[in-house]
Structure 1
Amino acid sequence: MFKKLRNRFLLLNLVIISVTMLIAFASIYLITYNNVARDISMELHKVSDLNRKPNKGASPRPWDSGIGQPPPDFNHLQPPERSVSFTLVTDLQWNISDTISIFNTEDSFYEDAKKAALSAKVNTGRFKLDDNHWAFIILPFPEGYRMVFLDITAQQAILTNLIYTFCLVAFAMLIVIFFISRFFANKSIQPIHEAFDKQKQFIADASHELKTPLAVINTNVDVLLSNGDDPIHNQSKWLYYIKSETERMTKLTNDLLYLTQMDYSDIKMIFTEFNLSELIENVILTMEAVFFENNISLKYEIEPELTIHGNREQIQQVAMILLDNAVKYTNLNGCIDITLKKRHNHNIFSVTNSGEGIPTEHIHKVFDRFYRTDKSRVRQTGGYGLGLAIAKTIIDQHNGKISVKSIPNETTTFRFELPSV
């Protein structure tokens, strides 16, 4: 599926770029072609005007200036530079009566040139003769026609080379663009692929977590139904199991709904300025009994009067999640070290607990939903692996950062940074 999506994206990108290049190259070629055509037309008329000048001592030609009119001034006309041209003068029946040329050639060449021009059936055009390209213009006068020919092989070569250059550049660019587009297509598809994989994993994990309590409830209901004659007080333990699993399912669904609301809800949380130092101290006081019951020694260092802008209840929930997580994974007679301090423009809260730690290969997964490094302890700790995911979502919404660092068989440190006020 993702391969097809990538290929469609790649194909669409190549089509768009190819059409864009085609339009750009076509525009450049048309502009160049029009410029060359204009220059050729100007040069043809220039040659025509130059060849109208009579030779010294010769009688005026019939197509020169009319009777009683002064001859035109040709002093301003300059011969075309590096151009090969000739003029044919014909009568009304297209028989050649005069040839004006700077080079000598066979009469058959002029006849072929005349026939090629006449076969075009236009007053101006182009043709190819003896591997050369020629442009011509036919100008009528009372006694016949004047046919001016100009060698445009060099100009035609420029246009041909321009086409070849465009094709070569386009081919090379398409190859380069193909690999670049494929690279960025893969990069674009990767987040979608990861999101899809996470969604699949999320559905599988949620189904697995719901399946166990449902199985327990179903089993206990079957036991109750099979002992329908017993009084209710004899069935209390089965009811207790059902209630316990129902509570676990309720907590799971509440956490899932909470994560969904935080991820997709457009409702803005109410942010206010509050004393973070006071909040952390209150959370520690709330958890002191838990530390004592688990024989965990506690050390903490709280820098006073640190304030942030955010949602007090959510930040309190993050602190509770991190402390609860530390208690669950602290070894027997271990210790927890809590610090809150200000560094530059950020308030940094960290919780370090002794214990088995987190293997290096699992560090980048600890904030994933339903992820637990030791699934055998699920029943013992009573968690679903959603707490750290909730904590990360809350910190992200507060424009903060949350991270974890662990030394296997020694310590694990969770910390978050929030902008200070």
Structure 2
Amino acid sequence: MFRELRLKLTLINVMVMALLLLLFVIGTYFLMQIQIFNQSQQLMQIVSNEAGSGSVIETREHNRNIVKYFYLKTDETGKILESSSDLPLTLDLMAPLAYKTINSRNSKGEVGFHDQDYTYLRVPLKQTPGFILTFVNLHQDREILGLLLSSLSIGGLICLVLAYYGSRFMANRAMTPIQKSWQRQQDFVADASHELRTPLSVVQVNLELVKGNSEETVYSQSKWLDYSLLETKRMTKLVEDLLFLARADSQQQTLEIKSFPLHTVLNEVVDSFRPLAETHGILLEYSQSSEGTCLGDENRIKQLMIILLDNAIKYTPSEGKITLGLRTWGTTSEITVSDNGEGIAPEHVTKIFERFYRIDKARSQEKEGTGLGLAIADWIVKSHHGRINVSSSPGKGTTFVISLPR
């Protein structure tokens, strides 16, 4: 699919470039043709005026190396009375040309004679009946135009070749983020399907067990029902997280921005997590250097802290320690969440905010979670124009540092 799209983009760019080059070549050719025609007309007008007054300037002789021209002075019947010194043919042979030009309907135009094409100008004599006939050979003009057309065509072909390779390069660059986005979407759908399939399978098996023992009481089969309820809650949480990220991606997830006491929110979250930490034998401490405020969505900041503390508890062993800290300076509030748990290898640190990213998929299945928490945390921080940094060492623990505007 992407190869076809890349090829289409390249061909479209080349076709547009070819059209523009064609218009340029045609325009340049016709402008040059008009300019050469006008120059020939001006030259013939000058020669006609000088011949009519009997003062042809011989110093213009050098111009004949560039433009081949000559003139004939005739009476009203076409008899040649005078001519320039370098006629292409003898005077007798030029008589038919003079007669043909005099009897032409137009006073200027083109005429063919002895396998040569000329542009001519017929001007009547002022003092006596007759005409001044001035001719310019078109062979050299056409050679110039032919050379120009060849040069433009070759230049155009070279430009098209360069445009093709340039378009391929630009198409590759343009397609790279699209391809990555498409791949992320495919991975996201695959991971979401996998995450939903597991609890659905558990629910199905448990309900089939309950259905297969229809004579048993609800109490006696409460274990299977509890498993089904637990997996249903897990699916509900997963779907809620998926909807949250979907709304965030489509920019439909709005924030209620206001100034609120950040230390109060942190105290509430710590108090709610202390029983869970004690259950796991983990010491949860909170310290603050000052009472900080935050300009943002209070509920989303609370959700951010819940995600980080929940992660810390999951990956901190019994008798471990989790520390939550708050300090402020200037227009920034900095929150630190650190633990002395398992830690994260350096190659995984930059990837943990990706959706469904698992450092150890086998071990991650043992811990409750959707694999979307840190992706949501990252969105919350960035939507508040803040920063979230991670430092970790395997076996020593992990520290998250969040900077938010006050």
**CA distance in 2 between partners of 1:32 and 1:382 (Å):** 78
Whether the aligned pair in 1 keeps the contact of 2:256 and 2:297 (CA below 8 Å) is: yes
TM superposition shift of 1:318: 0.7
Cα 1:355–1:46 change in 2 (3 A) is: same
SS state of the match for residue 336, structure 1?
A: strand
- AA in 2 matched with 1:282: E
- AA in 2 matched with 1:205: D
Residue 66 of structure 1 corresponds to: none
| TM-score normalised by structure 1 residue count | 0.81
Residue 416 of structure 1 corresponds to: 402
Residue 12 of structure 2 corresponds to: 12
Residue 294 of structure 2 corresponds to: 308
TM superposition shift of 1:183: 2.0
Tell me if 1:244 matches 2:224: no
**CA distance in 2 between partners of 1:181 and 1:391 (Å):** 39
Whether the aligned pair in 2 keeps the contact of 1:116 and 1:127 (CA below 8 Å) is: no
SS state of the match for residue 416, structure 1?
A: strand
Tell me if 1:101 matches 2:87: no
Cα 1:334–1:132 change in 2 (3 A) is: farther
- AA in 1 matched with 2:316: T
Whether the aligned pair in 1 keeps the contact of 2:51 and 2:132 (CA below 8 Å) is: no
Residue 124 of structure 1 corresponds to: 108
Between the aligned residues of both structures, percent identity stands at 31
User: Which stretch of the first structure deviates more once superposed, 256-265 or 139-148?
Assistant: 139-148
TM superposition shift of 1:249: 1.5
Cα 1:21–1:277 change in 2 (3 A) is: farther
Tell me if 1:136 matches 2:120: yes
Residue 59 of structure 1 corresponds to: none
Cα 1:134–1:299 change in 2 (3 A) is: farther
1:170 pairs with one of 156, 163, 166: 156
SS state of the match for residue 234, structure 1?
A: coil
SS state of the match for residue 83, structure 1?
A: helix
Write the deviation string for residues 258-307 of structure 1: whole angstroms up to 9, x where unpaired: 22223325463221112223322332333233333333345555342333
RMSD: 3.5
Tell me if 1:292 matches 2:278: yes
TM superposition shift of 1:106: 4.2
Name structure 1 gaps, 5 residues minimum. 56-73
User: Which stretch of the first structure deviates more once superposed, 139-148 or 231-240?
Assistant: 139-148
**CA distance in 2 between partners of 1:110 and 1:368 (Å):** 92
- AA in 1 matched with 2:63: S
TM superposition shift of 1:182: 1.8
User: Which stretch of the first structure deviates more once superposed, 144-153 or 361-370?
Assistant: 144-153
Tell me if 1:216 matches 2:202: yes
**CA distance in 1 between partners of 2:281 and 2:250 (Å):** 41
Whether the aligned pair in 2 keeps the contact of 1:352 and 1:411 (CA below 8 Å) is: yes
Write the deviation string for residues 217-244 of structure 1: whole angstroms up to 9, x where unpaired: 2212222222112233222212222222
Whether the aligned pair in 1 keeps the contact of 2:290 and 2:328 (CA below 8 Å) is: no
Whether the aligned pair in 2 keeps the contact of 1:351 and 1:413 (CA below 8 Å) is: yes
- AA in 1 matched with 2:256: I
Cα 1:268–1:242 change in 2 (3 A) is: closer
Tell me if 1:400 matches 2:380: no
Matches within 5 A, 1:154-303: 156=142, 158-264=144-250, 266=252, 268-298=254-284, 300-303=286-289
**CA distance in 1 between partners of 2:375 and 2:243 (Å):** 13
- AA in 1 matched with 2:35: N
Whether the aligned pair in 1 keeps the contact of 2:75 and 2:81 (CA below 8 Å) is: no
User: Which stretch of the first structure deviates more once superposed, 176-185 or 102-111?
Assistant: 102-111
**CA distance in 2 between partners of 1:328 and 1:299 (Å):** 16
TM superposition shift of 1:109: 10
1:322 pairs with one of 277, 298, 308: 308
User: Which stretch of the first structure deviates more once superposed, 46-55 or 283-292?
Assistant: 283-292
- AA in 2 matched with 1:270: E
SS state of the match for residue 148, structure 1?
A: strand
Matches within 5 A, 1:11-160: 11-54=11-54, 80=60, 82-84=62-64, 85-90=69-74, 94=78, 97-103=80-86, 106-107=89-90, 111=94, 114=97, 123-126=107-110, 134-139=118-123, 145-151=131-137, 156=142, 158-160=144-146
TM superposition shift of 1:49: 0.6
**CA distance in 1 between partners of 2:397 and 2:19 (Å):** 60
- AA in 2 matched with 1:114: L
Cα 1:370–1:120 change in 2 (3 A) is: farther
SS state of the match for residue 370, structure 1?
A: coil
| TM-score normalised by structure 2 residue count | 0.84
**CA distance in 2 between partners of 1:78 and 1:305 (Å):** 101
Whether the aligned pair in 1 keeps the contact of 2:72 and 2:98 (CA below 8 Å) is: no
Cα 1:283–1:191 change in 2 (3 A) is: same
TM superposition shift of 1:158: 4.7
Cα 1:112–1:161 change in 2 (3 A) is: farther
**CA distance in 2 between partners of 1:331 and 1:112 (Å):** 116
- AA in 2 matched with 1:26: I
Whether the aligned pair in 2 keeps the contact of 1:117 and 1:125 (CA below 8 Å) is: no
Whether the aligned pair in 2 keeps the contact of 1:277 and 1:303 (CA below 8 Å) is: no
SS state of the match for residue 373, structure 1?
A: coil
Cα 1:130–1:182 change in 2 (3 A) is: farther
Write the deviation string for residues 365-405 of structure 1: whole angstroms up to 9, x where unpaired: 32222222122234432111011111122223222333433
Q: How many residues align?
A: 399
**CA distance in 1 between partners of 2:167 and 2:327 (Å):** 47
- AA in 2 matched with 1:100: S
